[in-house]
Amino acid sequence: MLLIWTKIYRTPTDTLLAAADEELLGKEFREGKFKLKVSESFYRDVLVDEKVFADLLSLCSVANLVGPRCIAVAESLGMVTRDYVLYIGGVPHAQFTTME
């Protein structure tokens, strides 16, 4: 079973969820002028399955997501649409914020 690395950051007004598919951690991808570094310091804290990841997504107000599994879960919940996914070196990356 492939898992997802997650890390939660809290501010007084927001909860940010950084998440990356397990096998992408520590890698760097480039596409034209874009570079995506999936750094352990930003994404690595708790390793979860897709069900727990979906629960975490529902609790955050901002998310930074890397990898096809992360994107698929967020898309299935209506939080991300394919039109707004950026591919860097073939790896999907998306960010979203909720408006309350």
pLDDT mean for each 10 residues of the chain (100 residues): 94 96 97 95 97 95 97 95 94 89
CATH code for position 79: 3.30.1860.10
Q: What is the structure's pLDDT at 100?
A: 63
Residues 6+ apart with CB under 8 A from 8: 15, 16, 17, 18, 45, 56, 60
Q: What is the structure's pLDDT at 99?
A: 73
How many independent structural domains does the chain possess? 1
Structural domain span for residue 86: 4-97
Is there a contact between 92 and 85 (Cβ–Cβ < 8 Å)?
Answer: yes
Would the pTM count as exceeding 0.85?
A: yes
